Amino acid sequence: MTDTVQRVQAWLRDHEDDLLRDTVAMLRVPSIQSDPELNAPFGKANRDALDLALRMSQDYGFETKDIEGYCGYAEVGSGKPMVMSLGHLDVVPVGPGWKHEPFGAEIDGAYLYARGAVDDKGPTMASFYAFRAIKECVPDLDVRLRIVFGCNEESGFKCVERYVKTEEMPTLGVAPDSGWPLYHAEKGICNFVVAIPLTAQPVADFYVTGLSGGQRPNIVIDHLVAKVRVGQAIRNEVAMKASEYWDRNVSFAWDGDELSIESSGKAAHGAAPFLGDSAATRAFRALAALAPLGADRFWETVLETTQTSGVGLGIHGRDDASGDLTNNLGIVRTHDGRFELTFNVRRPVTWTADEVPTRLRAHVATLNLKAEVASFDASEPLYFPLDHPLVKTIVDVYEAETGERKAPGVMGGGTYARAIPNTVSIGTGWEGDGPAHETDERLKIEHLFKMSRIYAHLFLRLIEEAKKLA
């Protein structure tokens, strides 16, 4: 095994320029989900990214399959056991404030800047090259290696849902989309909409006619605009409060009797909303501060729903295996005569499936908002014991490659691992890389190369483990 690992890693060192070139090409595809087209259920750009991945795979001698544009895969080897890697080519929207062109794949110093550099195109390409290296160095491979290229991880997992319907599951699998050495537990994910009728507002002289902010449920809102119709009787009072308001991330502008409130924050991944700065929280706080008596408590209650612990929705809590529940308000909009607040919640792994919706509905019914839970969907958590062979193998390989014995982690994020049996998520970068879902996402070029070598070692070890399980 040691000789094989060294031979494969030497091949990767000799082909680092190729890995960088192909990664840059993939990062330049603006694969944000858009309207569906023929054989492109997630839009043309995502289809373009998948076509590029499959074309590269064919050029390098892999067998490929396009699964109706939902996803595709490349495979090499033979035999019954199969080791799988699952990466995604879609990315979250860009947002404002970038210093580097988001899809320029610019190299600045030691880093490669682009949306998707860390999440998840960079790791996916590193994994692909690890497979390619094994293909070139181990010609008589008696285990199949399959890399799946997904196109809808950031917006619903419809790609892997389609894969599961007709395709083969792995003997062992990894999703290179988390932290080192691996995450053996992923919290359950809930997305739901709390709808509040506009007519629930208690004061006609301070009447919010529109709210607009957010891009995805799993991103902290970094910009929000509220439109408020203000009656003449309280115009001076509201204007004075606005002129004295303390938050410089909130601005006010008048157009006749309409007050526009614009708030700015900082985007972050919805799995760790406390790392961001919610523009919705700032806007709702301002609404509560400017509102006259009778309307202030209404907006304070809306403000409370943004608490990252979930306490304002009655769903806060924790378990010993995975820690605290987290709550992110990701989208706010006015639609069909109501405010719609879309939340993204990560629940502890040992909670039952009905714990969050039951508590949520009971609490929402007690609020002074006339609100209802308009929709609710969830994905189950993932949990592997620490003594599982897949977990132990990954920990061992990471120690062998880095000299660091590191314990598996628990994450609030959701990866493909939760949707595919016998699969866990593994690490994607190191200090200085990222952050995912934020401006100027970046990956150190040397880290791209290092990942490919660690992945190759890991896949060689998983090949041996998969043979034992076949």
- How does pLDDT run across 177-187, given as a tens digit for each residue? 999 999 999 99
Would you say residue 284 has pLDDT above 80?
yes
Is 1's pLDDT higher than 80? no
Let me know if 153 is a catalytic residue.
yes
- What is residue 156's predicted lDDT score, i.e. its pLDDT? 85
| CA 231, chain centre distance (Å) | 42
pLDDT tens figures, 319-335: 988 899 999 999 999 99
pLDDT tens digits along 418-452? 999 999 999 999 999 988 888 999 999 999 999 99
Instruction: Give the Cα separation of 330 and 343 in Å (integer).
Output: 6
Among residues 321, 346, 379, which one ends one of the domains?
Answer: 379
> Quick one: 272 and 408 in the same domain?
no
**pLDDT at 376 (0 to 100):** 98
| In a shared domain, residues 193 and 109 | no
**Mean pLDDT across the stretch 156-185?**
96
Position 436 scores a pLDDT of 87
Among this protein's residues, is 404 annotated catalytic? no
Q: Which pLDDT does position 411 carry in this prediction?
A: 87
Q: Tell me, what CATH number does 327's domain have?
A: 3.30.70.360
- The pLDDT score that the predictor gives to residue 412 is 85
The predicted pLDDT at position 116 comes to 98
**Which pair of tokens denotes residue 29?**
């595809």
pLDDT, average across residues 346-367: 96
* pLDDT (tens digit per residue) in 68-126: 999 999 999 999 999 999 999 999 999 899 999 999 999 999 999 999 999 999 999 99
> Is it true that the peptide bond before 205 is cis, omega within 30 degrees of 0?
no
Q: Residue 413 above 80 pLDDT?
A: no
> What is the pTM for the complete model shown?
0.75
Catalytic residue, candidates 22, 75, 120, 153 = 153
Same domain? 155 vs 232: no
Could you tell me the residue range of the domain that residue 316 belongs to?
189-379
Of 455, 461, 439, the C-alpha closest to 220 is 439
- Per DSSP, the chain holds a count of helices (H) and strands (E) of 11, 22
Closest CA to 214 of 90, 335, 333: 333
Model confidence over 212-265: pLDDT tens digits?
999 899 999 999 999 999 999 999 999 999 999 999 999 999 999 999 999 999
Q: Choose the catalytic residue: 90, 154, 222, 262.
A: 90
Q: For residues 328 and 306, what is the distance between their CA atoms, to the nearest angstrom? A: 7
Residues 272 and 359 placed together within one structural domain of the fold:
yes
The mean pLDDT value of the chain amounts to 96
Q: Which of 316, 349, 379 is the last residue of a domain?
A: 379
Identify whether residues 419 and 451 lie together within a single domain: yes
Is the pLDDT assigned to residue 147 strictly greater than 90? yes
Measure CA 375 to chain center.
20
Residues 51 and 183 in one domain: yes
**Tokens linked to 70:** 């939902």
**What are the tens digits of pLDDT across the range 295-318?**
999 999 999 999 999 999 999 999
